[in-house]
Amino acid sequence: MPNTTTPAQYILILIDMAESQGCARDSLLAGTTLAESGISGIGARIDDADFNQLVANAQRLTGNPALGLKLGLRLNLSAHAILGQAFMTCRDLAQVMDLLLKYYHLLASGIQLELETIGEQCVLTLVSTPSDVSVEFGYELLYGAFVNTLRGLLNAPDLCLHMELPYPEPAHSSIYYEALGNEVYFNCVRGGILFHRDLLSTPVPSSNPVLRNLYEAECARLLADLEEEKSVAEQTLRLLRKLEGQYPQMPRIATMLNLSPRTYRRRLDEEQQSFQQLLDQVRVEHATRYLQNTRLSLSSIAYKIGFSDPSNFRRAYLKWTGITPGEVRRG
């Protein structure tokens, strides 16, 4: 599976949190390449395999059930580096959200975000979380970071948003309410952060239009560098994940990557991949997320990932994963 990466500063903050609770750094870094290379020698981004192992170590060593939420609440504007600086120069929250949706892969290349407007409500949805961390950790991290960033950006320390989570209320739910406010709801059909669209017009006190253009140009450059490092297979997966439920045919994906179908197939062959393999991988990811994170019926899930017949979906899912959709849903 293609590698995704996490900014090094997030790693350093997580390590600092765990060390402040008495954890030894050697134990935190056990099983990662960081144990050999050290933090200072790894550059600006860290492979998510190392991040996931570090999270597992920190959860085990600290015994903190709300580690994701605590980490998210430590991720302020300065932690987001150049994108955080760009946020500060925006005119209003609408511009901030525009930048976020364009460049969030600079913050976490292994997730997918969507923003939609439904009537008077805006809904920010975590479409996919990194596959090797728990659903709870992924949501806690995103929600904590999003709220903490907006509170600092808008100079609104008491800002609370309507937050929906697609899993049962945990034993440590009081920490959610204390950190995020009273509008936190569990066991929802899907996860999402909801707020009235009027919030988008809230001005950013530190707005600076001239600097905004400079910072966005730098964000665009960094994102282009990040994308250039990706193989054709990785770029295909990114597009298929982004176009959830639409799943374009191979020639369309080739066009979107500025390649002819013939060149596209050749490049995938060189990477020992095929379009069908990549499409099936994404359909498995999406189906599994629906099974684990929503209460949608199997018929609805089958339709969402391109099957008109639920029985065909069951057979395909069993072939892809070795287990049935029902087994996944039962945990």
Give per-residue pLDDT as tens, 31-69: 988 875 566 544 467 888 888 899 999 999 999 999 999
- pLDDT value of position 1: 39
The residue that leads in pLDDT, 256 or 280, is 280
Strand 162-164 relative to strand 184-185: parallel, antiparallel, unpaired?
parallel
pLDDT of residue 84 exceeding 70, the answer is yes
Angle, alpha carbons 278-280-281 (nearest 5°): 65
Cα gap 50→53, rounded to integer Å: 5
- The model's pLDDT over 141-194, given as tens digits with 9 standing for 90+, comes to 999 999 999 999 999 999 999 999 989 999 999 999 999 999 999 999 888 999
Contact 86, 223 (CB under 8 A): no
Cα gap 210→88, rounded to integer Å: 12
Which residues neighbour 121 within 8 Å (Cβ) at sequence distance 6 or greater? 194, 195, 196, 197
Helices (H), 39-160: 48-62, 67-74, 81-88, 93-103, 135-153
DSSP state string for 166-197: SSPPPTTHHHHHHHH-S-EE-S-SS-EEEEEG
- pLDDT value of position 183: 96
Structure tokens at 188: 């929802």
- pLDDT value of position 2: 45
Angle, alpha carbons 223-225-230 (nearest 5°): 95
Say whether 64 sits in a helix, a strand or coil: coil
Give the class (CATH, top level) of 231-330: mainly alpha
Which residues neighbour 77 within 8 Å (Cβ) at sequence distance 6 or greater? 84, 85, 87, 88, 149, 152, 153
Domain ranges of the chain: 1-64, 65-229, 231-330
